[in-house]
Amino acid sequence: MELKGAITALVTPFRNNELDEERFRQHIEWQIEQGVSGLLPCGTTGESATMSHQEHKDVIRICIEQTAGRVPVLAGTGSNNTSEAIELTDYAKEAGADAALLITPYYNKPTQAGLFAHYQAIAQAVSLPQVVYNVPGRTGINLLPETLARMQREIPEVIGVKEASGNINQISQIIEACGREFNVLAGEDFITLPLLSQGGKGVISVVSNVAPRLMADLCEAFHSRQIDRAIDLHYQLAPLYRAMFFETNPIPVKTALAQMGRMDLELRLPLVPMQQENETKLRKVLQECGLT
């Protein structure tokens, strides 16, 4: 299974503390119309940490229904509880997801051997392609390239990684150890072009929530060897890369979508609305990028 291009880490629209299904379906449809290569429900950007299990399952189901096979759906099913990750991954498989995105266990701080055992246990319980999500800044643990290479060799379900360490050298080591057929995807938008230049496949993107066409075009330009165009798009997107992290993700991206009129702004505690100064800066970036 090859995963490439811009895969959107979908926000989850809420209204009155409930899933806003209509807006969610509209957002999915817009993403596909704009040319993204895949969709990820229930990731960090989707506020999965504050969803109930039922909401988590509903969001995955709705995304799969609305997508209707037009692009791959990677369901976020990770947990720091291996049994919980197995339960959510099993549901995603039954619902028709193409793959699961599984974050490294957070807070527990397992050893590298513990990380391997976690993913192996999930694969033994549920045979569904796995994309491992390495984001040390949120989890407190870094999945090392040699551990990932061992997973690739010994766990057939492990088909790729969302690499959000921000470490270019580590990305290079992963591709060197796992080969260019392995689906190495950027976990941070700003690193998309450098990752592609090292042999990576694409990005699981926050920015593509607000600028799906531009992110899709950047990846497509690189893969079609239009390198100058890819570089131009990288710098065109650079202000958005920064703006989406003026505060903790997904606060800025949901605020941006509200400013664009695409959904209501509603976050779940402990996330709160942006500080006014940052919201004003965000509005200016969106205006300068022609998005409002």
Write out pLDDT tens, residues 2-46: 999 999 999 999 999 999 999 999 999 999 999 999 999 999 999
Q: Look up 281 and say whether it is catalytic.
A: no
pTM of the model: 0.96
pLDDT > 90? residue 104: yes
Mean pLDDT of 188-212: 97
Q: Look up 133 and say whether it is catalytic.
A: yes
Nearest to 41 by CA among 14, 20, 62, 19: 62
Nearest to 105 by CA among 84, 87, 91, 128: 84
Q: Across the beta sheet with 202-205, what order do the strands follow?
A: 38-40, 5-9, 202-205, 183-186, 158-163, 130-134, 99-103, 74-76
What does the pLDDT read at residue 1? 83
Q: What is the DSSP string of 202-246?
A: EEEESGGGT-HHHHHHHHHHHHTT-HHHHHHHHHHHHHHHHHTTS
226 pLDDT tier (thresholds 50, 70, 90)? very high
Chain centroid offset of residue 75 CA: 10
Q: Among residues 4, 162, 201, 254, which one is catalytic?
A: 162
pLDDT > 90? residue 191: yes
Reply yes or no on domain 5-224 having CATH 3.40.47.10: no
Q: Among residues 133, 201, 241, 254, which one is catalytic?
A: 133
What residue segments make up the domains of the chain, in order of their start? 5-224
User: Distance between the two ends of the chain, CA-based, in angstroms?
Assistant: 37
How many other CB atoms are there within 10 angstroms of residue 91's CB atom?
19
Per-residue pLDDT reduced to its tens digit, 227-256:
999 999 999 999 999 999 999 999 999 999
263 pLDDT tier (thresholds 50, 70, 90)? very high
What does the pLDDT read at residue 292? 87
